[in-house]
Structure 1
Amino acid sequence: MSAKDKLANPLIALVVFLVLTIIALLATIIIMKLNEKPVEPPRVAPIAQKLVAPEKKSRPEPVTNPVTMTRPEPVTQASKPRNVCETPGCVTLADQLLNFQDPSVDPCQDFYKAACGKYSEHEVANRRLQKKDIIIQRMIKNFLLKNETSESKSENVMRQVYRTCEGLKNEEIFNANMKTAFRELFKDIQKIGSWPAADKNWDETKLNLNEMLLNIVKLGSSNFGLFQIRPTEVPFLEVAPDMARSPKVSANFQQIIFDILEKNGLQPDENVIADDVEDYITLEETLSQYAYDYNAEKVQFSKLQAQVPSLKLEKIIEEMMNPNRKKLLVTKVKPRMVAHKHSLFFDEKMNLEKLLKSTPKRTLANYLIFYYMDHAMNGLSVHDNVIKKRNCEKLVIEYLPKASLRVFVRNHFEKGNLKIVDEMAEETKKSFIEMLQESTWLGADSKKNAILKLEKMGKMIGYPKEFEKKGALDKMFETLKLLPKDTLYGILKKIGRFHMEQGIEFVALETPMDPVLPVLMTNAFYTDRNHLSFLVGYMDDPLFDATYPKYVNIALTGNILAHETSHGFDTAGIKRDENGEVRSWMKPEDLKEYGKKTQCLVDQYNEYDDPVFGKNLNGTTTLNEMVADMIGVTVAWKVFEKLDSSKEQKVIGFENENIDKLYFRAAALDFCSLPPTTSLVEELTRVHPTGNFRVNGIFSNMPQFATAFNCPEGSPMNPKTRCSIF
């Protein structure tokens, strides 16, 4: 069929017409697409992109005429600026407040669950402060891993400790270390004195008690088990019972004794060693009955020496000093040697002097050496399962706290935070005084004494200013001389001696900080010498941020400052005056009322229905922490009340929440935690109440909370009966 014939066919002609029409339509669509300009969506702030779902917009109608299509001009509208904190710190804060809360829970029924109910879904650290400690450890680890040379003596010491610790995780190095460390320890034991367990011909004439004590000091330890010599916070130098005694010896202790003796060519008698270790444990258990008494009466040092004539205490103390500075230090330290009437020294029936006289000399000699060995296990590093799991950066921070602090502050810390927190501490003190003055039951004389104690309270915010001086820390480290071949045992032994000498310098007021104070922990504490310490970990994000709204920092840092300050007025604090001396400054009638108010907290905790432990808790054990909590939240609220809330920014996601509610939500963050895994027996030994009570129990005592959340009277967070202190 010809083309003409095909076109003459009506069916074929229709098909051709349809094909041409489709082609024309497709061409038109292609031309339209080529001429169409995309309409840019409005930009959304990065923070809003992260936390707020973008508004859904309808798509524009397609333009049908490609020739006449024009791009519409954007329409701009003046918008009121958001009064919301959108700094990186506030984004993190908002993230925690939003993620930790359980919106399904009524805050008036269970505020802890409302604020912290989903904490465990987002965190693996038990609490935020533990998480900060982990972060700090990682920062120190990153620094230690850098293959950099340094002119800083303290930094080089840190790196050597870390490398030596990590090296032990290598099996070959570990095995070589065991042989070397056992020989090294045995040599040190021989320096201490004659060891009955290693000498088959040992007799009592070979015991020279004071000589053994002096030799232990030379090895870097002033804790002998029988007693210890330690700097106090003020500082003074105190002879006291062992403050951290544990009658439990290290695992496989008896086997380690065998290994030490055998690796040094001796053949120990199994039965004799077993008897010696049993005698050691028995004496440890006896000494553990003489606990450190924080309320012991202060006595002259000469009276203590008279109680233990068998010990040459002053000579032992002189041995603790840097030999090159002994002449100067003796005159400065002697007036600062203190003693307290601890039962270990002054008990009439049995005391240290009577123990020294009645205990067999073999047991005493073994005891001093066993105690030294038992406390050298960390450096000896003979348990491979422990070594492989060891956190070496944590070990560095533990043994070299000031050097680690220097690294953290120089590389990661915003020093401007020191001034802000110092000002907050002063405002806390001012509001505390106002609270005392407004007290309706505290008598005039007691108020006067309480205010004096506050005014005299010392403080350390972060670290002493002296450490800002260039080279100040490295100058201290000049006396610590490590060798490349030193084992971890040898390194930690030298650091122990270094700390001892620096401790004496601290007592002599030649250096401003106790060398073993764990200054890089996320911690704050009050000591019975009427002194407050607030460490840098608590002054860093996310626990503190200079860009947070003021009420958030008061709810977080302000509450901690107030809590620690309040320990000066707990049941132990009211027994000490403005100088930290044991003296009851509260009048008898006021003490009686104070007792009633603290008993209210005891009863409240005893009756508290904890979601994990039920009504089985002991308010007597946790009383001082509850008192500090209760006074602390009252003082912090007084600071908060002075703010002009109209000038305060809101938190992302809580734009419609009033500031009072946000304050309490922020305050709860520091108590959010993972569900407890401890047994009831263990919980009953703890001095801190449960985190659940520290939110629900303490906040329910504040009428301000009930007002903020409009809680019905009689609801759990607005009870008819409340506890208060001042």
Structure 2
Amino acid sequence: MAFGSKAELVIEEYNENPRKWKRQRKHFIFALCLAGVVIIGLIVILSLEVAGIARIGGAVNERINGGGNTDARVGTTPSPDALSQTCLTPECIRAANVLVSGLDPSVDPCQDFWQFSCGGWLKKNPIPADQRYWGIDSTMGETIKSTLKTMLETPIMRDGELSSERKFKQFYQSCMDTEAIDKLGKEPAEKMIENLGGWAPLGDWNATSWDFFTALITAQYTFDRSVLFRFYITADDRNSTHNIIQIDQGGLTTDRSYYFENETTSTFYIAYKEFMVRIAALMGADENATEQFVQDIITFEKSLANITIATDAPERIDPDLLYNKLTLGELEALSPSVDWVSFFAHNYDDITNATEVIITNRRYFGNLSELIDNTEPKVLNSYLVWVVMRGYLHLLSSDFRGAMEDYQKARRGTTKTQDRWKTCQSAVNSQFGLALGGLFVEEYFSPESKTEAEDLIARVKDVFVGRLDSIYWMDEQTKEAAKEKAYSMKYKIGYPPMAINTTALDDKYKGVNISCADCYLQNVLARIPNDYKESAERLKKPVDKNRWYMNPQVVNAYYSSTSNQMVFPAGIMQWPFFDKNQPRFMNYGMIGAVVGHELTHGFDDSGAKYNLDGNLEMWWQPEAWSGFEESTKCVSEYYSTYSVKNMTVNGKLTLGENIADIGGLLQTYYAYKNWETENGPERTLPGLNRTTHEAFFISFAQSWCGEYRPKYLKTLIRTDSHAPVSVRVLGTVSQMKEFAEAFKCPKGSPMNPAERCSVW
């Protein structure tokens, strides 16, 4: 119901839904406050403009190092005509404050556009002590977290037995009750160990009775902990309407590269060993047993790292190489140390030797069987129980949590543990994310926002399709197929319908028994049988291409190759990334670049191998594919020239994301230009003294303002398919002549190189 002008309507709505009344009251108060701020802001800005000293961000147009255009647009008295071209709405004032305050005007944008755009933001926003990375997207996430905290801590509105709201709020309460958790001490861990058949370091393990396979089943289906391999129920890449079991390598504590560091000096080994010693001591292991346990784990995980395929290897990137279909009977012949049929038959129906699965790498699973056979049962026991335990230490008493937190600090470079409410909220997101997200979107995502976003997406699609005609290395047949795939690409915005359907949500979580507010671990484990039941049902059915793989409140987006669709949760459709009332150049530069990025993923080095129906199938003509590979090679080699804090970016590992960044920004730029053609040019922002096209690129760059702690950056560069945020800005804009034209960058300057890479 819309906010009514009659008191009766307000009272009726308050009685019907207290949360809506709270929202209206909040909006009314906010409007009054905003009006006051705007009036003051207008007076100040107009005074500064008329006086000729509007320096909100300093001399933002001043160039250094002799590069670029040095026209003196700041500090001069603007003409009446210039004033008339300045936007002074509340939304423009807010946008100006964001963009100007983020700048470092002492830097020439043609020399280092990242530092120019984000230098001011970085100075004002140091990384919080409990964070390994901090960026503009992090601040958006913190705002959402604060909102969700309020929602989680309000009284339960629907208190029925099946109420999903009751369940996730009681789950949150049980997480927050650290006093009840601490009273249990090590008892929950002891029960885990008992279920797994004992633990060698404690001396309660029986070599005769303990069975590795039985413990493997318990670890997976009782505790939801994958040991040595992981599996998913997912779409068959070559038959995307059919669900199938996909099995992947797994079992390491961190990326395999860390296991090849010097064991004496490596910060990973030092922290990891200390972590294991503390946990073993808390469980009551004596010194000798602890020493043996630590050495056994290190030795075994090193052996596992040796057979694990490296993150940047072609076998971990190329979807053709990741696709290895075989029957379980054939898998047992390849890897006989695991009874694969019995393992999956424990939870899934109609599993036989003839059941087809996909494994990501034959070499790994062949070597895995050999590793199991050559490892003493005592070591297998120590390792398997350790894998399960380390996955639950954060749910135990403060001494166990402290050991886990200290290990994480050492690995991430943080110095503080995050607030308990944030930890508990993350747990709710993990266990009941869709239900919690439903509360969020009802208040913070409007139908009008969705309509505006849909128009933006359509424009970006049109640009992508239109630009295909100019791709010189692509023949007409392949161009037509690419156009058809682009126009067939679906999108989802905001949230799935189930998120606001309380009946459907209650049904989804009906098998989750949250029966107490003082038994956190028990509540976590209660979710597992329901998840595996849902997983078993999904395997029997065709792929549900309407299924969401992110919760509505997440500040992120994704493209699914097997569904050929983009998904933009409500969390990323928030200010400053998106606001239907703010300047379009800011929307297009921020969320528009995200849209273009996800669309281009359908045509990156991996997505390009899937057809319009989401099947892994070569739809390209051979000559066109050769031209595509040559273009992507240029991008890979170019990004490998970047380094951050003396660590070199891996152009092969980040290739898909880099293709999507460059193509995405290019498409959304021209989509914005098309919008301008239809609607007329926008007015500029007060104090920024930049054209709307320059403001578009600044908006894009500032969407990536952020900083990493060195230890986390090291892990990211080794393992992440995304380049560091500074490289995502510099690498993208430097490959666009449109950027150089907007900022009048001299030829040969860092942001206007003589040669460029271009795919889309």
* TM band (smaller chain): 0.7 to 0.9
The alpha-carbon distance between structure 1 residues 604 and 673, as it changes in their structure 2 partners (threshold 3 A), is same
The alpha-carbon distance between structure 1 residues 105 and 357, as it changes in their structure 2 partners (threshold 3 A), is closer
Map of 2:183 onto structure 1: 176
* Aligned partner (choices 93, 96, 100) of residue 94 of structure 1: 96
Map of 1:164 onto structure 2: 174
Q: Which amino acid is the alignment partner of residue 429 of structure 1?
A: K
Per-residue CA deviation, residues 671-711 of structure 1 (Å, 9 max, x unaligned), is: 22348756985574254334334333322322222222333
C-alpha distance in 1 between matches for 2:484 and 2:532: 34
The alpha-carbon distance between structure 1 residues 286 and 276, as it changes in their structure 2 partners (threshold 3 A), is same
The question of whether the paired residues in 2 share the 8 Å contact of 1:713 and 1:720 is answered with yes
Map of 2:478 onto structure 1: 446
For the residue of structure 1 that corresponds to 2:722, the secondary structure is coil
Map of 1:287 onto structure 2: 304
Q: What is the CA-CA distance between 1:107 and the residue it aligns to?
A: 3.2
The question of whether the paired residues in 2 share the 8 Å contact of 1:307 and 1:345 is answered with no
Q: What is the CA-CA distance between 1:491 and the residue it aligns to?
A: 1.9
Map of 2:556 onto structure 1: 523
Map of 1:338 onto structure 2: 357
Map of 2:657 onto structure 1: 625
The question of whether the paired residues in 2 share the 8 Å contact of 1:605 and 1:617 is answered with yes
C-alpha distance in 2 between matches for 1:568 and 1:144: 37
The alpha-carbon distance between structure 1 residues 716 and 535, as it changes in their structure 2 partners (threshold 3 A), is same
Q: Which amino acid is the alignment partner of residue 298 of structure 1?
A: N
C-alpha distance in 2 between matches for 1:145 and 1:238: 39
* Aligned partner (choices 665, 685, 692) of residue 698 of structure 2: 665
Per-residue CA deviation, residues 504-542 of structure 1 (Å, 9 max, x unaligned), is: 444446977779745532111234434433222111112
Q: What is the CA-CA distance between 1:299 and the residue it aligns to?
A: 0.8
Q: What is the CA-CA distance between 1:648 and the residue it aligns to?
A: 4.3
Map of 1:653 onto structure 2: 686
C-alpha distance in 1 between matches for 2:655 and 2:166: 45
* Aligned partner (choices 168, 186, 192) of residue 196 of structure 2: 192
- Percent sequence identity over aligned pairs: 23
C-alpha distance in 2 between matches for 1:601 and 1:109: 20
1:48 aligned onto 2:42: yes
Map of 1:300 onto structure 2: 326
Map of 1:33 onto structure 2: none
The alpha-carbon distance between structure 1 residues 192 and 87, as it changes in their structure 2 partners (threshold 3 A), is farther
Q: TM-score, normalised by structure 2?
A: 0.74
User: Any residues of structure 2 matched to 1:423-434 within 5 Å, and which?
Assistant: 423-434=455-466
The question of whether the paired residues in 2 share the 8 Å contact of 1:90 and 1:548 is answered with yes
C-alpha distance in 1 between matches for 2:418 and 2:640: 43
User: Any residues of structure 2 matched to 1:148-297 within 5 Å, and which?
Assistant: 148-151=156-159, 153-168=163-178, 170=179, 173=180, 175-178=182-185, 182-193=186-197, 195-197=199-201, 202-204=206-208, 206-221=209-224, 223-232=225-234, 236-243=243-250, 245-246=252-253, 252-260=275-283, 262=284, 270-288=287-305, 289-291=307-309, 293-294=316-317, 295=319, 296-297=322-323
Q: What is the CA-CA distance between 1:255 and the residue it aligns to?
A: 4.1
Moved more, 450-459 or 635-644: 450-459
For the residue of structure 2 that corresponds to 1:236, the secondary structure is strand
C-alpha distance in 2 between matches for 1:593 and 1:56: 55
Map of 1:38 onto structure 2: none
The alpha-carbon distance between structure 1 residues 605 and 196, as it changes in their structure 2 partners (threshold 3 A), is closer
Moved more, 714-723 or 635-644: 714-723
The question of whether the paired residues in 2 share the 8 Å contact of 1:554 and 1:636 is answered with yes
C-alpha distance in 2 between matches for 1:362 and 1:373: 16
For the residue of structure 1 that corresponds to 2:510, the secondary structure is helix
The question of whether the paired residues in 2 share the 8 Å contact of 1:297 and 1:582 is answered with no
Per-residue CA deviation, residues 481-520 of structure 1 (Å, 9 max, x unaligned), is: 1222653222222233433333444444697777974553
1:496 aligned onto 2:528: yes
The alpha-carbon distance between structure 1 residues 279 and 615, as it changes in their structure 2 partners (threshold 3 A), is closer
Per-residue CA deviation, residues 346-381 of structure 1 (Å, 9 max, x unaligned), is: 54xx2x333343333333344332221121212224
The question of whether the paired residues in 2 share the 8 Å contact of 1:671 and 1:691 is answered with yes
Q: What is the CA-CA distance between 1:92 and the residue it aligns to?
A: 2.5
The question of whether the paired residues in 2 share the 8 Å contact of 1:405 and 1:519 is answered with yes
Q: Which amino acid is the alignment partner of residue 210 of structure 2?
A: L
The question of whether the paired residues in 1 share the 8 Å contact of 2:578 and 2:587 is answered with yes
Q: Which amino acid is the alignment partner of residue 144 of structure 1?
A: L
* Aligned partner (choices 99, 107, 110) of residue 108 of structure 1: 110
C-alpha distance in 2 between matches for 1:339 and 1:587: 27
For the residue of structure 2 that corresponds to 1:431, the secondary structure is helix
Map of 2:371 onto structure 1: 355
Q: What is the CA-CA distance between 1:225 and the residue it aligns to?
A: 1.1
Map of 2:390 onto structure 1: 374
For the residue of structure 2 that corresponds to 1:117, the secondary structure is helix
Q: TM-score, normalised by structure 1?
A: 0.77
Per-residue CA deviation, residues 14-43 of structure 1 (Å, 9 max, x unaligned), is: xxxxxxxxxxxxxxxxxxxxxxxxxxxxx9
C-alpha distance in 2 between matches for 1:130 and 1:364: 40
Map of 2:10 onto structure 1: none
* Aligned partner (choices 374, 380, 383) of residue 400 of structure 2: 383
C-alpha distance in 2 between matches for 1:546 and 1:334: 55
The question of whether the paired residues in 2 share the 8 Å contact of 1:94 and 1:651 is answered with no
User: Any residues of structure 2 matched to 1:678-693 within 5 Å, and which?
Assistant: 684-685=717-718, 686-693=720-727
The question of whether the paired residues in 2 share the 8 Å contact of 1:577 and 1:585 is answered with yes
The alpha-carbon distance between structure 1 residues 319 and 421, as it changes in their structure 2 partners (threshold 3 A), is farther
Larger of the two Rg values belongs to structure: 1
Aligned length: 637
Map of 1:706 onto structure 2: 740
Per-residue CA deviation, residues 129-174 of structure 1 (Å, 9 max, x unaligned), is: 1111111111111222334553373322332233233221x5xx45
Q: Which amino acid is the alignment partner of residue 716 of structure 1?
A: P
For the residue of structure 1 that corresponds to 2:527, the secondary structure is helix
C-alpha distance in 1 between matches for 2:48 and 2:476: 61
1:132 aligned onto 2:140: yes
The question of whether the paired residues in 2 share the 8 Å contact of 1:503 and 1:515 is answered with no
Q: Which runs of 5+ in 1 are unaligned?
A: 1-42, 58-77, 263-267, 322-329
Q: Which amino acid is the alignment partner of residue 355 of structure 1?
A: L
Per-residue CA deviation, residues 23-71 of structure 1 (Å, 9 max, x unaligned), is: xxxxxxxxxxxxxxxxxxxx994541364436899xxxxxxxxxxxxxx
The question of whether the paired residues in 2 share the 8 Å contact of 1:526 and 1:567 is answered with yes
The question of whether the paired residues in 1 share the 8 Å contact of 2:229 and 2:250 is answered with no
The alpha-carbon distance between structure 1 residues 331 and 447, as it changes in their structure 2 partners (threshold 3 A), is farther
C-alpha distance in 2 between matches for 1:459 and 1:272: 55
Moved more, 121-130 or 399-408: 121-130
Map of 1:590 onto structure 2: 624
User: Any residues of structure 2 matched to 1:2-13 within 5 Å, and which?
Assistant: none
For the residue of structure 1 that corresponds to 2:675, the secondary structure is coil
The alpha-carbon distance between structure 1 residues 422 and 378, as it changes in their structure 2 partners (threshold 3 A), is farther
Q: What is the CA-CA distance between 1:655 and the residue it aligns to?
A: 8.4
The alpha-carbon distance between structure 1 residues 175 and 107, as it changes in their structure 2 partners (threshold 3 A), is closer
The alpha-carbon distance between structure 1 residues 464 and 635, as it changes in their structure 2 partners (threshold 3 A), is same
